[in-house]
Amino acid sequence: MQKYYLGVDLGTGSAKAVAIDADGNTLATAQDHYNFLQPQPGYAEQDPELIWQAFLSCLQQIDDKLKETPAAISFSSAMHSIMAVDINGKPLVNAMLWSDARSGAIAEELRAGEHAQELYKHTGTAIYAMSPLCKIMWLKQHEPDIFAKTHKFISIKEYIWFKLFGVYEVDQSIASSTGMFDIIDLKWYAPALQIAGINTGKLSTPVETTYSRKLTNNTSIKGLSSETLIFTGASDGCCANLGGNAINAGVGALTIGTSGAVRVGSDRPIYNFKAMTFNYLLKANTFICGGAVNNGGGAVNWLLQNFLKNDLNEENYKGFFNQVESIAPGSEGLLFLPYLYAERTPVWDAKSSASFINISAKHQQAHFLRAGLEGICFALNDVLNAVEQGGGLVNELVISGGFIASPVWVQMLADITGKRLLILQSDDSSAIGAIYLAMETMGIAIEAIMQKETGTRTVISPNLEIHARYKQIFVVYQGLYGTIKESVHHLHSIATL
């Protein structure tokens, strides 16, 4: 059996493994799903043991298919999770996920404080409820007994790593998304730890994303051997850029799933404090910079379920996009702010909400659907604009996610951004990017593999006439929320009485 290399992505809803050979050919894949918990509004938790079992399941599935252990395995992982564990590595609470919003008030106060800009500059992480820094502060305030008993605060990937090796180590990529790691000096940032009320002893030892270990001879895990090099890898967003060959200047990556994100590679951080774009480490001297939005495919699903009263199935999606296509770009002046589930970059307001603006008697159902889709694209263009303002100019975007199945949505995105789009067909870019990190470290040339993948992509070019019209609408879009924000907050406070 030829050598193969395994990338494992530890996501919010599943663990996925992709096995490739030295030429980049996919040999096998495996996936195991798990649920997350919402015990009360604003909470998003996960039992870390489910992730461990899903990881083991993926290893076994690949081993059953290929009948051989991998030469190397490397991890990609969702960011911003945090859990408290005792001295034996046993979780004291479930992991708090990126979408957990309970520390929103703490983040808002911290973001408005005098040290916010320095904190952002050093850590490169937006000051928001998703940040592990804010989550630890919440535990200190609201769960003091748990806080006092905590031996370490770790992420879901660190939990897997501890289960494998019995040591607390964290790759610099995951560390750079905690709000507590200095992305320039590559060590825990003392002022952030002071704010959290902890010291370095409460956190794992940072290591490079190319760092590896091997299992000891007395550790038996099906699908791994004592000869398998096991790499820490990086975060899912950073790995996705590498896996999609979107790390060079001028090339960005844009993903729309339930939420959405825009990311560009850079040899330096790209700061924008007002928009709080992120700056995460992929590897030495390579940053992945950008921003995320809360409302992508989730907003489309809302329109289908709550606006059209339709089930989420292929036929209804097709009908939705057919109606969208029947309306001219610009939706005859109807505009949608898509903040149904609040918003991150560049709004950063947990109390933000969605709005249809400029409704008139001429607007029919299809206008609202098209305006809804345009609003999602405007929100992503807002992130792209914030990144470019910081100096990360983008000429083309590698796009991925479920939305690429809709030609009208893809063309709309090209027309609104004015960028050339390259469609990445694979949903495995995070796992593949993780294994690229390992292969490169092992001396395997990955450039040819990446160029081969790029050559097979579909190219979508913007309609420049329509783009000029959208540019005018985008100016209006950017100013809208600031105009109505105070009223939105007032209504929010009335509704919660």
Smallest Cα–Cα separation from 19: which of 55, 76, 73? 73
Q: Which residues of the chain have pLDDT under 70?
A: 1, 453-456
Spatial contact of 228 and 215, defined as CB atoms under 8 Å apart: yes
Full-prediction pTM beyond 0.85? yes
Q: Write out the E strands in 365-425.
A: 394-400, 420-423
Cα 242 off chain centre by? 14
Spatial contact of 292 and 379, defined as CB atoms under 8 Å apart: no
pLDDT digits (tens, 9 = 90+) for 29-45: 999 999 889 999 889 99
With a CB cutoff of 8 Å and minimum separation 6, the contacts of 66 are 1, 4, 19, 27, 28
Left (φ > 0), alpha (ψ -120 to 50) or beta: where does 336 sit? beta
pLDDT digits (tens, 9 = 90+) for 301-313: 999 999 899 998 9
Quick count: other Cβ atoms within 10 Å of Cβ 224? 20
With a CB cutoff of 8 Å and minimum separation 6, the contacts of 217 are 226
User: Under DSSP, is residue 496 helix (H, G, I), strand (E, B) or coil?
Assistant: coil
* 177-181-182 Cα angle (round to 5): 120
Instruction: Give the C-alpha separation, 293 to 481, whole Å.
Output: 15
Q: Specify the pLDDT at position 1.
A: 58
| Cα dist from 117 to 58, 126, 183, whole Å | 42, 10, 14
Q: Specify the pLDDT at position 454.
A: 65
Residue 338 burial by CB count (10 A; 0-12/13-18/19+): exposed, middle or buried? buried
| Cα dist from 165 to 19, 177, 216, whole Å | 22, 23, 8
Quick count: other Cβ atoms within 10 Å of Cβ 447? 9
Spatial contact of 250 and 226, defined as CB atoms under 8 Å apart: no
Q: Specify the pLDDT at position 393.
A: 87
Q: b vs e for 345-370, b when ≥16 Cβ sit within 10 Å of the residue's Cβ? A: bbbbbbbbbbbbbeeeeebeebbbbb
> What residue type is assigned to position 213 of the chain?
R
With a CB cutoff of 8 Å and minimum separation 6, the contacts of 463 are 411, 414, 415
User: Under DSSP, is residue 77 helix (H, G, I), strand (E, B) or coil?
Assistant: strand
